[in-house]
Amino acid sequence: MDQPFYLAGGGWPSLLPSQGYNDSRQFKLDTIGSADLQWVHELALFARTGYLQASIVVASSLFLIRYLLQRSYGKISHPETDASTISLPFEICGQSFRAASFVLMTVAAARLGDRWTNAAALLYAFFLGLLRLLKDLEWRHVALHHVNFVLGTLLLVIAAGELLPYADITYDRDLSPLTIAGIATLGAAVIVAASTPREWVPPPLDLALSLKIPTREASQEETCSWIGYYLTYEWLTPLLLRGFRRQMTIEELPKLPWYDEPFVLLSRILTARAKSTKSFSTIVRFLRVELATMAVYSIMAYSLEFLTPFATYKLLGYIENPGNTSVRPWFWLIVLFIGPLSRSVAFQQYVFVGTRVIVRVKSALTQELYYKAMGSMELDDEAFAEVAISGSDMDKANKQQSTTASGRLANLMSADVDAVWGGRDIIMTCCGVPCGSILALAGLYKLLDWPAVVGIVLMLVLMPLPFFISRRMVGVQREMKQIQDARISAVSEYLASIRAIKYFAWEDAIIEKIEAIRRGEQKKIWGLNVLFICLGQLTECIPTLALLLIYTLHVVVRKQRLTAEVAFTSISLIRTLRRNLTMASSLSRNFTAAVVSLRRLDRYFDNVTPLIRHPRGPLKITNATLRRHKRATFALNDVSIQFVEGGLNVITGASGSGKSTLLMGILGETLLESGSITCPDDIAYASQTPWLQNETVRENILFNSPFEKVRYDRVINACGLSVDMDEFPDRDETEVGESGTSLSGGQKSRVALARALYSKAPVILLDDIFSALDARTSSALWREAFCGDLLKGRTVVLVTQLPWIAPQADLTIVMENGLVTDLQQNLGVVRHNVTISKSPVDHGNVDTTVEVSVTNAADTNGMGLNGKTVTPDPQIQTTAAKRQDEVTQEALKTGQTARLQFFSYMRLFGSPFHAVLAIVMSGIGSASFVGAGLWLAVWVDAYDEEGAHDVAFYLGIYAIWTLGDTVFNGLTYICYERGGWFAARTLHSNFIKAIMNVPLSWFKTTPVGRIVNRFSRDMTSLDTNLVGMLRMTIENAIRLVFQSFAASAVLPVFMFPVAACCLAGIVAGEIYTRTAVSVKRLVSSAQSPVFAHFSDSLAGLSIIRARAGMPETFGNQLADKLRVLERAFEAQFNCNRWVALRIDLMTTLVIVAAGAIAVSKAGVVAAGLVGFSLLNATTLNLLIVILVRAMNEVEVELQSYHRVKEYANVDPEEKPEDYRREGAYTDDPEGDLPKDWPRSGEIEFRNVTIKYDPEGPEILKDINLKFAAGERVAVVGRTGSGKSTLVLSLLRFTNIVSGQILFDGVDITSFPRKRLREALTIIPQEAVLFTGDVGSNLDPTDKVAKNIVEKALDYCRGIASFQFGEEEEASSGISLSRPVKAKGENFSHGQRQVLSLCRALVRKSKLMLLDEATASMDYETDQGIQRVLRKELDESGRDRTLVTIAHRLKTIIDYDKVVVMSAGSVLETGSPRELYEAKGYFYDLMRHSGEFDDLEAIVKGD
C-alpha cells in the first residue's frame, strides 16, 4: 500500500520554500526505500533556498577583503615573462560562458519566480573575472582561485537542487530548458576556468636566497591549469611523447619549480633543525604542510573508495529484484563512475605530494649532511665503530674491518636518506588505512549484523602478531644497515687504493674480505625477507579467517541466506580490509628502515665535533697543546711559535714528530686543549698527500678563483708545469682524473702547490711538497717560487726534509716527539739558488711515476697490455661537453635495457627449475584468488535452485579456496625472495671479482664514486626491490588474464570494453614505460655527480675549509648537482601520476559499462554470476595500474641489474687460459713455468723496447741490462728519463714491443701477471694502509706464518719513525694488534712508509722494487730503512735483488750498481765509485744535488 510522504514534515516545515515540487508540497514514494531518499529531497530543497549560494559569495568576499587589507602595496608585481601574462583565448571563452550562464539563470529566475541567488552568484563570478584583467600578477593569481571556487561550488549546489531529485524513481517533474541551458553553460564555464593556465608569480624570497637561484623562470608545474595540476597532469604529455619516441637529455626535462630549489629547501630544514632536537621532529616541522596535505588526501582516498562497493551493492540488489527499488539504476552507475575516479584523483594527489616529500628530503638532508661534515673538525669514529656482524664467516671480518668516515657518510647520504623518504607512507598507514579499515568494518556490520562483530574481535585478537614481527624487523634492519656500512666502507677504501692491491696481487684476499662481510649482510637480508613473508601472509590470513567465521555464523547460526549483494559486497570489503593490512605490513619494512636511519642520522649529528675557528690575527701559537682527536694519546705539548710574518718558516724533524699535526692545528683541524692560536681567515694549504679535484688542471689551480692570465702564467712557470703542459693532450684543459690519476706524483704535488701559490691567501702552509720531486726539479721550483717575489709579503710555513732549505729560512722550527726542540731565526736572510745543471729536462718520453704510468698503460686505441684487446668505456669527446652534459652522457653510456632482460635475471635464481617454479606458483596463486570468487557465485546462486542447504559442503570448499589462496601466495613469496637472494649473491660476487681484476687503466675513465654508487644503491635495489617488483609484474599479468576472462565469461558482450580497456592501458603503459626508463636512466646518472662531489669534498676537507668562502662555494656546486638530480627525480615520479590517472579513467569507464550491461540483463542472468563479474571488473583498474607500474619498476630496477652486470662483465686484465699451466722445471723456454719459480732475483733486459700505446712513441729503447741476484741496484736520472717505466716493465704495466725481460731465467710475458706480481714486491712512493690492524695490513692474505710477520715488524721497530707514536703502546713498540684507521690516519706519513717496508719484508720476495719510497723521510729514517733492507738481503743468502728509484742520491750512494737513464736510454751503468770516477752524468747529478761533499766522502770511503 502506498502512503503519502510529506517533505514539509521532514525537517524544514517553515524554512524551505515550496517551489519546484508539486503544488500540494507533497508526493508519493514507494514505501520501500522512502527513508533512504528523504535526505535527497531535503538536500535539494535546501540547495534551492539560496543560503548556500549566498554563503559562497560571502565567504569569497571576506577572504578577498582580508587579502586586500593585508597585502603589501609597496611594489605591485608586473609580468616578467610570457608565463606571467594572461592567456586571452581562455579569458574570452571563460567570460563568455560566465555571461551566458548569468543571462540564462536570470531569465529562468524571472520566469519561474525564484533562483535569484544563482544569478547573483554568477554575476559576482563574472565581475571577479573582469577584475582579474588588472595588471597585477599576485591579484590575478588570487582572483583565478576565487573564480574557480565560486563557479565549482555553485555548479554543485545548482546540480544538487535541480538534478539530484531525479534519482527518485517516482520523481517525474520536467526540468525547464532554460535551467538545463544555464547548468550546461555553467559547467562549460567551470571547465574553461579550471583549464585556464595560471600566471607565474615570481618567488617571494629574500635577496640573499634569491641571488643563489640561477634562473627566475617558470616551470610547467607552476603555470599549468588546475585541471592539469590536479586531474590530468597534461603538462607532462609533451615529456611522455618525447620519451616514447627517443632517448632524452637532462635539458629536456621540465624545469624545477622555485619552491624545490636546493637553497630554499636547505634554508627551510636548517630553520626546522634549529627548533628541534631530533631528526624526526625536524622532518615533521620541515614538511608539516606537505604531511598534513598527504593526511587529508589519504583519508579522502580511503573513504571515497567505498562508493564503489556501495554502488555495487545497490546494483546487485536491483538486478536480483528489479521491482523492489526506489532509486533509478543510472544513479548508481553515476556513483560507480564518480567513486573510483574521485578516489583516484585523491590518491594520485597523495602520491604527488609524497613525491615532493622525496625530492625535498633528499635535497635538504644531503645538503645538511654536507654542510655538517664541512663544519665538523673530525668525525667520531667510535660512534659508528661497532659493526654488528654475526655468523662464523664474519668473525674475522669483524676484527679487521670497521667503517670509515667516507663510507659512513656515503651510506648516510645515499641509503639512509633514501630510507627516510621511503618511510613517508606512514602518513597513509596512520591516517588513510585506519579510516578505510573502520569504514570497511562498519560496512561489514551493516551487512552481516553481529557475526561481523565476532569477526572483528578475532581480527583484533590476532593483530598483535604482525606488530610483534614488525618490532623484530626493526632490530634485524638495524643490524643489516650496520653490516652494509662496513661493506660500503670496505669497498670504498679498497677501490681508492686499487693500485696498491694490484701491485701486491692481493685481489683474491680483498675479494674474500668483502665477500665475508657480504655473507653476513645476506644472512640478515634473508632473515628480514622471512620476517617480511610471515608478516605479509599473517596480515592476509587474519581477514580471511575473520570472513570465514562471519559467513559460518551468518548461515549456520543466524540461518540467514547469503545473497549476492551481501556476499560480493562483504568480500569486496574484506579484500579492501586485507589490502589495507597487507599494505601496512609491506610498508612496515620501509618504516623500520626509516626509524633505523633516523636514529643513525641523529647519532651522526650528535657526535660530530664542531670545527675550531681561531681568533683572527697574525700567525702565532702560544703555549698550545694540540691533539688530533679526543681519544688520541699523541699530542703536541706547550708549543709556542711566533711565525715570521711575510717570511719563510721551515719546520723540520724526524718522521712522526708532529710536523703535520702542527699544520693541522693552525688550520683548526685538531683539538686545542690549552693555549691559543691566531691566524688569518684565508689560508692556502698544500697537503703532504696532494688532493686534486676530478677537474681540469686549470680548474684545479684556479680553485674557483677568477682567471688572471699574467698571474696564472707566472705560477705555471714557477711550479715547472710549462713543460708538463706540452705533454698533456689538452694542455691545462686536461682532466687530472679522480685523485689525480692521470698525473705523476711530482705533477700532482706541483699542481697542488700551484693552487696554493695562485691563491691570494696571506698565509701558505706547504706540507713536504718537495718529497715527490727529483733534485733538479726541486732546485728549479725553489728558484722560481721561493727566491723571487712571487711570495713577497706572504707568510709561508714549509715542512721539508731537504737539508739545504732550513739555513735559508727566516725561521727554522725543529720538532721531536711532539715538542719544539729548537727555534732558529735568520731574519733578513737572502735566499739563493741551488747550483743546477743548465741542460734541459729530458723531452724524449713522457715517463712518469709508477702511480700514473700504470693508468696510462694499455689505455688508448682499445689495446691492452702486450697487444691484447681491452674494451674501455666510451669517452666523452671534450672537457666542455663532459662538463655540460655529464649526466646525460653517463645515462646514454648505460644503454638500453631489454624489456625481457628479466629472463636473464631469473636465470640467476639458483637453477632453471627455481625460475619456472616461481612462475608456476604465480599462476596457481592467481587461479586460487579468482576461484574463490567463482565458488562464492556458485554458492549464492544455489539458493535459487534449492541446493544451498548443504552449508558444510559450500562453506568447506570456499574455506579451502580462500586458505589455499593464502598458502599459495606465501609459497610464491618464498620462491621469488629466495631466487632474488641467490641472484643478488651471485651478482655481487661476480661484481667484486670483476672490479678487482680489471686493468688499472679502466679506473682512469671510471670514477670510484660511480663504482661505489653501484655497490651501494644498485646492490640495495637488487637486494630488496627488483625481485618484489618482478613478482608483482608476473602475478598481476596472470591475474589480469584470469579476471578479464572471469568478468567476460558471464557476460560475453563485456569482452569488448575489457579488450578496449586493456588495449588503452597497454598503449598508455608503453608510452609511460619508455619515458620512465629513459628518465630513470637520467636519475641514476644524476646520482653519481652528487656522490662523487660528496666524496671528493670529504677527501679535501682541510684544504677547502682553510680558504675563506670556499666551503660556501663547494656548497653551491653541490646545489648545482642536486638541482639536476631533483629535476630528474620529479620528472620520474610525476610520470607515474600521468599514466595512473589515465588508466584509472579508462577502467572506470569499463566498470560503468559492466554495470550498464548488468542492468540491461537484470532478471536474465543470475545475480551471483553478475556479482562475480562486477567483483572482477571493479578491480581491473587497480590491476592494470599496478601491472603498468610494476612493469615500469621492473624495467627501472633492471637498470640496477644492468648497471651491476655491466661492470661484472668488464674484460679482465688477462684470462687464465691465455697462459700455460705451471709444471716441472725445464730448460725449454717453451715449457711450463716451474712450480718453485723464482729461485733467485736475477733480472735481465734483452734488447727491450717499451711503449705504453702500441701505436705510440717508444718510451724505452733497446735496453740491455742485467742485475745479478743479491745486488742492490739504483736507477737514477732526471725527470722524464724513463726510470719508472723501467720498473713498471717488471710489473707488466707496459707493452713490451720487442725484446725480452727475464726474471730468474723465465720470460715474464709467458705466465700470468698475477703470478709475476706475487713473486716480487714494490714499495710505492705513497704508502697505503687499510682499516683493520697492523697484522692485517702486513699480510692481508693471512697466509704468512705469524712468526715471520713478527720478525719483519721487529726489524722495523728500530727505525726512527717508530720511536714516536700516537698510542700509549708506542713506548714499548708497535704490535700486530694495533688498530689502523682508514688510510692509516693514526700513523704519520713516515710511519706508514715504514709499515710499507715491513709489508715487503713479510712477502720474502726475490725481487724488491722501491719507487721513491723514502723521498719524504728524514735522513735518519731513510738510513734506518736502508739498514733493514741491507740486513734482509744479507740474511737471505744474497739471492734477493733490490731495485730502487731514487731522487735523493744519498739514499743509494752505497749501492752495488747504479743505472743512469736519460730520454729512455741507459747512459751509464756501474758502481757509484766507478761512475764518480768516470765524471759523467752521475757525477753531474752529484754536483747539483746540494749534498756533493757528503756524497763524495761516502764514495771515497772517507
Please write the tens of the pLDDT for every residue from 675-729: 888 988 889 998 888 888 888 888 888 988 888 888 888 888 888 888 777 777 7
* 1334: Cα within 13 Å, side-chain hemisphere: 26
Residues 6+ apart with CB under 8 A from 1399: 504, 1321, 1323, 1337, 1338, 1339, 1352
Angle (deg, nearest 10), helices 564-607 and 329-374: 10
**Residue 370: half-sphere exposure toward Cβ, Cα within 13 Å:** 31
The amino acid at 622: T
How confident is the prediction for the chain on average, in pLDDT? 78
3-state secondary structure of 1: coil
Give the model's pLDDT for residue 890. 52
Cell numbers given for 846: 713522457
All three cell numbers of 893, joined, read 653510456
The 3-state DSSP class for residue 730 equals coil
| 1257 and 1280 Cβ atoms separated by less than 8 Å | no
Cα torsion through 441, 442, 446, 450, rounded to 10: 60
Beta partners for 1460? 1276, 1468
**Per-residue model confidence as pLDDT tens digits over 156-215:** 888 888 888 888 777 777 777 888 888 888 888 888 888 888 777 776 666 566 666 766
- As a whole number of angstroms, the distance between CA 1064 and CA 1306 comes to 70
Convert the pLDDT of each residue in 554-571 to its tens digit: 888 888 877 777 888 888
DSSP letter string, 556-596? IIS-----HHHHHHHHHHHHHHHHHHHHHHHHHHHHHHHHH
What is the DSSP secondary structure assignment for residue 1211, as one 8-state letter?
A: P
Contact call for residues 514 and 487 (beta carbons, < 8 A): yes
Strands 795-799, 763-767: parallel, antiparallel or unpaired by DSSP?
parallel
> Using an 8 Å Cβ cutoff, are 402 and 626 in contact?
no
Q: For 330-334, 867-871, 1331-1335, which range has the lowest pLDDT when averaged over its residues?
A: 867-871
Share above pLDDT 90 across residues of the chain, in percent, rounded to a whole number: 2
The helix (H) or strand (E) run that includes residue 1247 is strand 1243-1251
Residue 432 · residue 302 · CB < 8 Å: yes
Q: Enter the DSSP assignment of 675.
A: E
Helix (H/G/I), strand (E/B), else coil: 1100: coil
Once rounded to an integer, what is the mean pLDDT over residues 1339-1358?
Answer: 79
List C-alpha distances in Å: 496 to 492, 671, 1011. 6, 28, 11
CB 1314 within 8 A of CB 1218: no
Cα→Cα distances 48→5, 117, 174, 397, 996, Å: 20, 9, 16, 78, 79
1476: left (phi over 0), alpha (psi -120 to 50) or beta: alpha
Query: Residue 1502 in 3-state DSSP?
Result: coil
Q: Please report which confidence band the pLDDT of residue 300 belongs to, taking 50, 70 and 90 as the band edges.
A: very high
Residues whose CB is less than 8 angstroms from the CB of residue 1369 and which lie 6 or more positions away in sequence, other chains included = 1375, 1378
DSSP 8-state class, residue 136:
-
pLDDT digits (tens, 9 = 90+) for 326-385: 788 888 888 888 888 898 899 999 999 998 888 899 889 989 988 888 888 765 454 444
Residue 102, C-alpha cell as written in the block: 548569468
Q: Does the structure show a pLDDT above 50 at 521?
A: yes
Q: List, in sequence order, every residue forming a beta bridge with 283; answer none if it has no partner.
A: none
Model confidence at 20, in pLDDT bands (50, 70, 90)?
Answer: very low
Q: Which band of pLDDT confidence, cut at 50, 70 and 90, is reported for residue 879? A: very low
If pLDDT is split at 50, 70 and 90, which confidence band does 859 have?
A: very low
1404 DSSP β-pair partners? none
Beta-bridged to residue 651, according to DSSP, are: 799, 813
Q: Which of 1387, 1394, 1435, 1428 is nearest to 1413 (CA)?
A: 1394
H or E element, residue 264: helix 262-275
Per-residue model confidence (pLDDT) at position 292? 92
User: Which DSSP letter does residue 196 get?
Assistant: S
User: 542-561: string of b/e by CB count within 10 Å (b at 16+)?
Assistant: bbbbbbbbbbbbbbeeeeee
* Helical residues (DSSP H) of 997-1108, grouped into ranges: 1002-1005, 1008-1013, 1019-1020, 1026-1050, 1055-1099, 1101-1106
Residue 797's pLDDT is 92
Q: 690 in helix, strand or coil?
A: coil
Q: What is the pLDDT of residue 687?
A: 86
Confidence of residue 1414 (pLDDT cuts 50, 70, 90): low
Can you tell me which residue has the cell 594572461?
Answer: 86
Helix axes 886-894, 1055-1099, angle to 10 degrees: 120
Q: Where is pLDDT greater, at 18 or 1365?
A: 1365
Sign of CA pseudo-dihedral 1154, 1157, 1159, 1162? negative
Beta strand 1306-1307 pairing with 1295-1303: antiparallel
**Of 191, 281, 271, nearest in space to 227 by CA:** 191
- Asked if pLDDT for residue 1039 goes beyond 60, the answer is yes
Q: Helix/strand/coil (H, E, C) string of 266-302? A: HHHHHHHHHHCCCHHHHHHHHCHHHHHHHHHHHHHHH
Least confident range of 504-518, 650-664, 1000-1014: 1000-1014
* pLDDT number for residue 26: 37
Residues sharing a CB contact under 8 Å with residue 890, sequence separation 6 or more, in sequence order? 1010, 1085, 1088
Q: Which residue has the higher pLDDT, 930 or 387?
A: 930
pTM of the predicted model as reported, rounded to 2 decimal places = 0.71
pLDDT band at 299 (very low <50, low <70, confident <90, very high): very high
Compute how many other C-beta atoms are within 10 angstroms of the C-beta atom of residue 825: 14
CA 529 from centroid of its chain's CA atoms: 23
Backbone dihedral angles phi then psi of residue 915, each to the nearest 5 degrees: -65, -45
β-pair partners for 56: none
CA-based radius of gyration for the chain: 39
Q: What are phi and psi of 619, to 5 degrees?
A: -70, 115
Distance separating alpha carbons of residues 1122 and 1108, to the nearest angstrom: 23
- Of the pLDDT bands very low, low, confident and very high (cuts 50, 70, 90), residue 1220 is low
DSSP-derived pairing of the beta strands 620-627 and 671-678? antiparallel
Rounded CA separation 1473/1082 (Å): 64
**Chain center to CA of 4:** 70
CA separation for the pair 683, 756 (Å, rounded) = 9
Whether 1233 contacts 1220, CB under 8 Å: yes
Helix, strand or coil, per DSSP, at residue 908:
coil
What integer pLDDT is reported at residue 80 of this predicted model?
53
d(CA 539, CA 584): 9
DSSP string covering 20-35 = TS-TTS-EEE-STTHH
Residue 848 is predicted with a pLDDT of: 45
Amino acid letter, residue 812: T
Whose CA is closest to 282, among 290, 292, 272? Answer: 272
pLDDT given at position 295? 93
pLDDT reported for residue 3: 35
Length of the chain: 1502
| Surface-to-core class of residue 239, CB atoms within 10 Å of its CB (0-12 exposed, 13-18 middle, 19+ buried) | buried
Report pLDDT for 900: 67
Of 679, 647, 688, the C-alpha closest to 812 is 647
Contact 940/564 with Cβ under 8 angstroms?
Answer: yes
